[in-house]
Structure 1
C-alpha cells in the first residue's frame, strides 16, 4: 500500500497550523515508516469507478466512489473497501481485485477516499477517537456512504461487508467494533486490533509492538465501542505477512485474541490448512460449527495486500507498491463471507423489496413507518440499523423504546408463505424528537477515550463544539454537557443537566 500509517491528524478548522505541522509530519513519517515515502496516487477516475456526491453530512470530509456491475439486482450485497496511506480509491480499485468479484458474484463496491486535507499522508485517521468512534468523523462518513449505497443500489443491509489495507485496515477494525449492527463481516489486511491506539504515539506502538493484552481486555475494547446490548458480531478475516516490519505479525495474534473473545470462542484453531503462496489458514468456529474468525499467515510476505495476478478462478489483482504477488486475498475473503453463493449467508427469498418506505411520525421514543404492500407477502420484517427488530402483518409498524433526539435507520423486507424474507427496501432515517442533556466530569484523557472529546497536537477539544479544553492528560479535568447526539460543550461553571 502507500505509506502505511504516518498519522498526524489535522483538525480541519486549523489550516494555518496544519500547514506547518504537515511538513513536520512528512519528515517524521519518512524516518518512521518502512519503504520510504510514496507519491500520492491519482484521484479516483478509473473507467467504471464513479464518484458519488450527496451521501450525508460527511463530518469526516471523505469522498465516496463506487463500482456497480451492470444490471445489478436489488438485494445484492455491498462491500466497502478502504485504501491505505498515500493511496486513493482508484489505486485500490485497480490493484486489489475486488472489481473482478463484484462482477463475478454480483455486489456493489464502495471505495471511500481520504486526502491530505485530513492527514498529511492521506491516511484514514484510525487512531483518532474523534474520527473512529461510532457516530463521529470519518467513521460516520463511511456509515453514511453505506446508507447512500443501500438507497441508491438497493443493497441488502443484512449483507454489508468492509475490508481495508494497513491504515484502511485499522479503520476497518474500528468500524467492525463500532458498527456491528451494520457489517456482517470484515477483513483486516496488515492492520492493528480495534481501538488499539488513541493518539499518534500509541499508533506507532501498536504498529511496531502491540500491547500484549489478554483476549478479554482486547474484547472489552470492541464491546465498549459497540451499541449497548449487542449480541451479534461480524465474522472477521485477518491477513498478515510474517515478514511485515511496518505492522508487525504480533498484531494478527492480538486481533485473533480480540475477535475470538468477542465471539466467546477459544484461541485454539478448529482447523489449520495450507494454501498457495506460502499461506497458512487457521479457522476458529462458532458454536454452530461455522468459521467466525479466520487468520491467514503469509510466510515471507512484507507489508501489503496479497494479490495473485492471472486469469484463474482464484486469481486476482495486479502488483504494485504494497500489492504483493502471493495469493488472492479478495477471492478467499469473498468466499469466507459467502459472496460466491455457496458460503455462509442465506440467500434472500423471492419476493421483491417493498417500495415506498417512509416515516409516518415520530415522538421522543417512537418511530412509525409505512410502506407499499408486496403481492404475495404474508408478513414483513422490520430492520433497525441492519438488525431485525420486529415484524408486521400489515404495511405499518411503530418502533418503541427509542432514545430522544436520535437518528435511526430502517429497512423492511417482505416474507413469503415459506417464511423466507426477500431483499430489504431502500433505507429511511427517523429522528426522534427531544433530547435529554447529560453531564460528564472527567479528565481530558478519559473524555477523549470515551469519545466526548478529541486530541489534536497534544491539546483536547470537545467533540461537536470544538471548544478548547487544554492539555490532553489525566490531570486536567472538565465537565462536559452533551446537548445533542455527538455534541458536547464545556460546562465547568455549572451543568444544567
Structure 2
C-alpha cells in the first residue's frame, strides 16, 4: 500500500512509518499509541498478551451477504473517538494505525498469545508410527521439517500402495510439533493412511516464524518460500511411497495465506488446498498493506494473475476473528469462485447449516461441478475467533467446539 495519497501527515505518523520500514516495529507502535492517547503506553501492560479488537468494517464482503448469514458488528469502542478530532484526510490512516500495538510484533498475530506455552512439545504417536526430523537442502537454503509416517505405512508399501501426502503450514509463533498436536492431523493420518509433512519456518526468515505471504518475492513460482516448499513436497514424493496425484496443502493464518500462494504458483503439484483463517492471493504486497488487509480485508477481491489450473479449495473462517478479519475469508472464496467459473460449466451452489438444539455453529457454501463433486467450500464458523476449529487444547490457537476442520479438510482432500 502506498501512503503517498495522504498529504500533511503529522510528524509522529511519518516517523512511525520510517520506523516500520526499518524494522523497528515496537518503537513505531509506542510512538503511534503515545500520540493518539496523549500519553505513553501504560507501563503495566503485558506485551506478551495480545487482545482482539474488532475492526470497524462490515462483517463480510457484499457479494456473500445474501448467501451467508450476516454477523452483527460491534459498537465502536471509546478509543474510536480519539481520531475524530483529526483532519478528514487523516481519519482513515489513523483508524488503521491506532491499534498497531496489537499487530506489529508478529505481522500475522493470533488471537491470544499463551504466556509460557511451549510450542515444541512432542505430540503422542502410536506404536510403529514415526515423527521424523529432517532438513531439506535446496537452492533456497537449508530448511527443517517434521514428517509423520503412520504405523501402517510399511504394510501399505508391502501391498504396493502409494499414499496421500498432506503439507501442513503452521501459523505465526507456532512450530510443526505444536501444529500437529493442535490439529490432530496425525491421528487422521493413521485412520486414512496418509503421510503428513510439517515444514518449519525459522525465526531467521521471520522473527515470529510467520510465512512471508505479503512479500512479492514469496508470492511466485521458482523463488523464495514457495520454491523451497515445492522442493520439499517433491522430495517427499520421491523418497516415499506417495501418490503424486493426491498431494494436498493446508495452513492456518499466515500458513493458510501461503497455502493459497502455493496453489497459484504450483497448481499442478497440489490436488486441493485447505485455508483456515487466511488471506487471498496477493491481497498484500508489503508490511503496511498486510496489516491493513488483516484488519479489514483487501480494498477489493484481488484478481488472479494467470490462467493456471483451478485447485479445489476448502475455506474456514470464524466470524468473530479480530486478528484476520472474516472479510478475508470471503475474498478467498470469491477469488476461487471466479477462477472456477472461468474454467468450469454446469456448476451448482448449495448452502448448508450445522446446527445443534442451542444454535447454528456454522454455515457452509458449496460449489459442485457437473458431476456433483464439491470443488469449493466456505465454512463460516459463528462465534469463532482466530483459531483452528475442532482442534485440541494440546496445541495453541485451537477451538475445541468445532466443526472439526481437520476432519472436513481430509474428507474434502480425499475426494480429489
* TM-score bin, normalised by smaller chain: 0.5 to 0.7
Provide closer, same or farther for how the CA distance between residues 62 and 269 of structure 1 changes in structure 2, counting only shifts above 3 A: farther
1:64 match: 145
| Per-residue deviation, 1:284 | 0.9
Q: Which has the higher contact order (CA 8 A, sep 6+)?
A: 2
Q: Deviations over 1:427-476 (max 9, x none)?
A: xxxxxxxxxxxxxxxxxxxxxxxxxxxxxxxxxxxxxxxxxxxxxxxxxx
Q: More strand per residue: 1 or 2?
A: 1
C-alpha deviations, 1:302-330, integer Å up to 9, x for none? 1111015xxxxxxxx34653101222101
Indicate the residue corresponding to 2:397 in structure 1: 322
Q: Number of aligned residue pairs: give it.
A: 305
Cα pair distance change 1:52/1:286, threshold 3 Å: same
TM-score by length of 2: 0.67
* Contact 2:174–2:396 (8 Å) recurs in 1: no
Instruction: Give the deviation of 1:211 after TM superposition.
Output: 2.4
What is the distance in 1 between the residues matched to 2:162 and 2:303? 32
Cα drift, residue 106 of structure 1: 0.6
Q: Alpha-carbon deviations, 1:160-196, whole Å to 9, x = none?
A: 0000000101111111111111010001000110121
SS of the residue corresponding to residue 252 of structure 1 reads helix
1:77 aligned counterpart, secondary structure:
strand
Of residues 389, 404, 411, the one that matches 1:306 is 389
CA distance in 2 between counterparts of 1:302 and 1:31 reads 15
For structure 2, the residue ranges without an aligned partner over 5 or more in a row are 1-20, 31-98, 104-108, 125-129
Matched, 1:165 2:252: yes
- 1:269, CA displacement in angstroms? 6.6
Structure 1: segments with no counterpart, 5+ residues: 1-17, 224-228, 309-316, 339-343, 346-497
The residue aligned with 1:220 is 304
| CA–CA separation in structure 2 for the residues paired with 1:241 and 1:70 | 34
Which residue is equivalent to 1:189?
276
Q: 1:131 Cα shift?
A: 2.2
Check the 8 A contact 1:61/1:114 in 2, yes or no.
no
Residue by residue, what CA displacement relative to the aligned partner does 1:393-440 show, whole Å, maximum 9, x if unpaired?
xxxxxxxxxxxxxxxxxxxxxxxxxxxxxxxxxxxxxxxxxxxxxxxx
Aligned with 1:252 (options 321, 324, 329): 329
- Tell whether the 8 Å contact from 1:282 to 1:294 is kept in structure 2 after alignment: yes
Measure the CA separation in 2 of the matches of 1:128 and 1:258: 19
- Contact 1:241/1:300, CA 8 A, preserved across alignment: yes
Which residue of structure 1 lines up, in the alignment, with residue 407 of structure 2?
331
Q: What does 1:73-472 correspond to in 2, within 5 Å?
A: 73=156, 74-213=161-300, 218-221=302-305, 223=306, 230=308, 232-264=309-341, 270-275=349-354, 278-307=361-390, 317-318=392-393, 320-325=395-400, 326-338=402-414, 344-345=415-416
Name whichever structure is richer in helix by fraction: 2
Deviations 1:369-392, CA, capped at 9 Å, x for gaps: xxxxxxxxxxxxxxxxxxxxxxxx
- Does the 8 Å CA contact 1:58/1:144 hold for their aligned counterparts? no
What is the rounded CA distance, in whole Å, between the counterparts of 1:25 and 1:148 in structure 2?
Answer: 42
Note the C-alpha offset of 1:30. 4.6
Q: Give the TM-score normalised by structure 1.
A: 0.56
Matched residues in 1 for 2:316 and 2:137: separation?
32
* CA deviation profile, 1:17-44 (whole Å, cap 9, x unmatched): x997476589797532564555674447
CA RMSD of aligned residues (A): 2.9
